[in-house]
Amino acid sequence: MTKQEKVKFVINTLNKIYPEITIPLEHKNPYTLLIAVLLSAQSTDVGVNKITPLLFERADNPYDMVKFTVEEIRSIIKPVGLSPMKSKGIHGLSQILIDKYNGKVPKSFEALESFPAVGHKTASVVMSQAFGVPAFPVDTHIHRLMYRWNLSNGKNVTQTEKDAKRLFPKEIWNDLHLQIIWYGREYSPARGWNLEKDIITKTIGRKSVINEYYKSKKS
């Protein structure tokens, strides 16, 4: 298969498996999505979805959030990990939203990435999922699969994002990155991986990855 044939195979396969796509993090508006994505750093979406209802019941907008102290926020979000940094980030960005943006999340990569505890991936998720702006946020699943599929060299997430944007049509980025995440979780996880169920990797995958898989099964 040529690289373009591999890309077409990925798109067609994912469209068949995931004709409808759901956003993994539960939220109700751009602000709560921003907070949920911030909380998801080095945490699972399942864990975040258990905590955010408790947090958003008390504060689902920046004006209510800043009424809490950093410590009060931390006490709620502690189970998701990295709570000292995340609680400061949540309080800090909420105050910035009030002071500079009338309490509304800006539709700008530059503005979002200037907020405390918000990096490029978080900004990309918000721009994509809240505002429909084409973006290709790369999480651990996408990074792993782009390498397994021999569509990126796996050096770092920045390079993986560049490769994904170069290979896949811009108009499908927002759906495709979610499809790849769901596929990675269900069919091509980091642990407990069964290549026989992973049709995409089995068909177009990097030979060294496939050989290593079978080698590990024999040992």
Single out the residue in 88, 107, 129 at which a domain terminates: 129
Q: Is residue 150 part of a domain?
A: yes
| Per-residue confidence (pLDDT) for residue 207, from 0 to 100 | 96
Angle between helical axes of 120-129 and 30-39 (0-180°, round to 10): 150
- Is 134:128 a contact under the CB 8 Å cutoff? yes
The verdict on 96 and 67 lying in the same domain is yes
39, 47, 175, 189, 212 from 42: Cα distances, Å: 8, 11, 23, 16, 27
The verdict on 15 and 38 lying in the same domain is no
The candidate with the shortest Cα–Cα distance to 90, out of 150, 37, 131, is 37
Q: Give per-10-residue mean pLDDT for the chain (219 aa).
A: 96 98 94 97 93 97 98 96 95 98 97 96 97 96 97 94 98 98 96 96 97 88
The verdict on 105 and 35 lying in the same domain is yes
Q: Which domain holds residue 36?
A: 30-129
| Per-residue confidence (pLDDT) for residue 82, from 0 to 100 | 94
| Per-residue confidence (pLDDT) for residue 217, from 0 to 100 | 85
- Is 105:34 a contact under the CB 8 Å cutoff? yes
- Looking at residue 170, what DSSP letter applies? G
| Per-residue confidence (pLDDT) for residue 218, from 0 to 100 | 83
Single out the residue in 129, 156, 182 at which a domain terminates: 129
* Strand ranges inside the chain, DSSP E: none
Work out how many domains the chain is built from and give that number.
2
Single out the residue in 72, 95, 129 at which a domain terminates: 129
Identify the residue whose tokens are 């499809």. 179
Q: Is residue 89 part of a domain?
A: yes
Q: Is residue 25 part of a domain?
A: no
The verdict on 144 and 60 lying in the same domain is no
The candidate with the shortest Cα–Cα distance to 183, out of 3, 16, 6, 1, is 16
- Looking at residue 191, what DSSP letter applies? S
Residues annotated catalytic, as ranges: 121, 139
Q: What is the CATH number of the domain that holds 188?
A: 1.10.1670.10
pTM of the predicted protein model: 0.92
The candidate with the shortest Cα–Cα distance to 130, out of 36, 10, 16, 17, is 36
The verdict on 112 and 48 lying in the same domain is yes
Q: What is the CATH number of the domain that holds 72?
A: 1.10.340.30
| Per-residue confidence (pLDDT) for residue 200, from 0 to 100 | 98
